[in-house]
Structure 1
């Protein structure tokens, strides 16, 4: 996998502290989706749910303001947003004066929508919600719902994605299950830094072999891929190997650089999960 020399990943960094939307860097989703056999028409819906924990700016009188930002990037956008560029972009707000939080929110929504759809017609805007400091204590910490696969005592020896580990009871009656694991790890494709996460698989269909599914999740341990692409690979592999009638895959990755990224992909229309962090985030 190659990336443009303009990407800030893996390079010495200059931290701007005056607003600069040009710091945002798009990465096209299409090349890795092509590796999964995906073209223009996607077999899933969903979004990438971000939380920005390090957002600050100055009000009109120069007094610092702080907030959390919940960001929702539609999965149908042509680009994902490179996380280091988003960190640098948010840092550029630090010594910039804004009239109020509404102006900050409008700038965020406009700039993030532009970079997510750069090179294409905008179909849906990036969602942005600011949480003021006085509301921080209302931000819940929750574990992913579901039956933990981590309870299984098993041997593991595959640490690159191994979809052949997946299977399901296709000749038996369908079941509805929600399964979770905290043993997900993948790695940044540029820096090689580990990305730790938890994953939730919800499905209706032939019962998935749980031991094989856990081994499959663990097999991402040495894989290099962005969070969004890892979840889409999981979705496609489970769909192909286990043949569920309905499927949703949701991963919550621990934060890096003040940002966490939590991709959600579903085979059928449903509400997005609430962007509630887990204890590791």
Structure 2
């Protein structure tokens, strides 16, 4: 149920108004106005979250959207190109997401911009992205001298993809999710590499690996895999898909504790990895890249 005292979308920005699917001029000098925020509230209302004064309240989760930008470049004070990888963590309770193509266009605007050093880049990213998301973000910049610190690893958990199931539904149906409340409470982690959805605007495929960590009545594994595969023809942004998965599992299976973490493959030099949870394990999920990233 939603409560709306003012229109949900206060900024007026919609995904259809963004640069997605359109021919774009690639600016190469710093231009923060290229960032295109889209309010989270409208899609959150769609999955039944409460909206007051255009914002979601009493969220059933906390979390982060972890962005990795692999095509960050600028000029030093003498005009020599510099490269780095930037990791950005935006809180799930921020009012906006940033449309990913606008994010790429914004990063490209640094390409011919002279900066005094990494500190100035960090300051500009921190200011502009915090304004875009509508809340303070965390920024980590890894210089080329530090690239060797990156390693690969896979999400931990029992692989659901081993199950030999029959599937004939390719849109998410919450009712297929089942748990057995007659069984003892368990703590389990499941992983699937079969999460695939489509861009809300362009319809281009988005590929991901997803980890489900919960404490509660045992979730029927076949039902969970069938549900996840159901996103195959579904059109939503990454963040919206993960929040839909979280709320559907929470509502249908009623676990005491739940965490959903998806690692999406990159597009346009960016990957987006949303994490939503209602319990703390004492640390953030790892930002370690998997084999498909």
- TM bracket (short chain): over 0.9
Query: How far is the alpha carbon of 1:269 from its aligned partner?
Result: 3.0
| 1:89 paired to 2:106 | yes
8 Å CA contact 2:15–2:201 kept in 1: the answer is no
| 1:195 paired to 2:212 | no
Listed as ranges, the gaps of 5+ residues in structure 2 are: 1-12, 51-56
Name segments (4+ residues, structure 1) moved above 6 Å.
Answer: none
Query: How far is the alpha carbon of 1:265 from its aligned partner?
Result: 0.1
| 1:59 paired to 2:76 | yes
| 1:98 paired to 2:109 | no
- TM-score for the superposition, normalised by structure 1: 0.96
Which residue in the other structure is 1:244 paired with?
255
Listed as ranges, the gaps of 5+ residues in structure 1 are: none
SS in 1 for 2:125: helix
8 Å CA contact 1:239–1:247 kept in 2: the answer is yes
Query: How far is the alpha carbon of 1:268 from its aligned partner?
Result: 1.7
For 1:201 and 1:184, locate their aligned partners in 2 and report how far apart those are by CA, in whole Å: 12
For 2:33 and 2:252, locate their aligned partners in 1 and report how far apart those are by CA, in whole Å: 42
8 Å CA contact 2:15–2:99 kept in 1: the answer is no
Superposition pairs of residues 174-185 of structure 1, within 5 angstroms: 174-185=185-196
Name the CA shift for 1:6/1:223 in 2 (closer, same or farther; >3 Å).
closer
How large is the Cα RMSD of the aligned pairs?
A: 1.1
Greater RCO, 1 or 2 (C-alpha within 8 Å, sep 6+): 1
Which residue in the other structure is 1:43 paired with?
60
Name the CA shift for 1:5/1:184 in 2 (closer, same or farther; >3 Å).
closer
For 1:5 and 1:128, locate their aligned partners in 2 and report how far apart those are by CA, in whole Å: 28
- TM-score for the superposition, normalised by structure 2: 0.92
